[in-house]
């Protein structure tokens, strides 16, 4: 059985600042050669939630499993890696080039804390499937207030 790399951490240190992302996004919209970071594309995601679990499916066609990583902490999930471009033929030229290659990253911040002990991930046919269990909160308890 082959495994997907899953790293657990208390914070995602390599996250760019919001300002950097905004500026990079403005320039990247003018053309793919304008980029301030190594992240060049974002995979599309489906997120499905039940009362107990969160399911995430990421479309990562053409990404090798060894070029794919997943970081999880109780409040966030980060999917990142790279898709390597096929070398173009020397005798031709592109008429259309829409497929994005290079490094990618998606970060999801969870509204409900995740139990990192039970996260599972599988990669099949270009789709990454991640299943996360929500943390269970203890029942509310009233605390008596003493009068002094």
Per-residue pLDDT tens digits for 29-81? 444 444 455 668 999 999 999 999 999 999 999 999 999 999 999 999 999 99
Tell me the CATH number for domain 5-86+98-134.
2.60.40.790
The label of the residue with tokens 């999880």 reads 72
Per-residue pLDDT tens digits for 124-145? 999 999 999 999 877 788 888 9
Q: What is the pTM assigned to this prediction?
A: 0.69
Task: For CA atoms 113, 24, 36, 86, give the dihedral sign.
Answer: positive
The angle formed by the CA atoms of residues 100, 63 and 11, to the nearest 5 degrees, is 90
């Amino acid at each position: 059985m082959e495994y997907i790399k899953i790293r657990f951490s208390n914070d995602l240190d390599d996250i760019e600042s919001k300002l950097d992302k905004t500026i990079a996004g403005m320039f990247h919209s003018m053309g793919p050669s304008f980029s301030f970071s190594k992240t060049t594309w974002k995979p599309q995601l489906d997120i499905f939630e039940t009362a107990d679990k969160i399911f995430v499916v990421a479309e990562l066609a053409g990404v090798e499993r060894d070029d794919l990583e997943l970081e999880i902490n109780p409040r966030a999930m980060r999917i990142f890696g790279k898709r390597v471009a096929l070398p173009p033929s020397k005798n031709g030229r592109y008429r259309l080039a829409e497929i994005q290659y290079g490094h990618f990253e998606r970060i999801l911040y969870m509204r409900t804390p995740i139990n990192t002990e039970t996260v599972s991930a599988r990669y099949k046919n270009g789709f990454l499937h991640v299943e996360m269990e929500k943390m269970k909160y203890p029942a509310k308890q009233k605390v008596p207030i003493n009068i002094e």
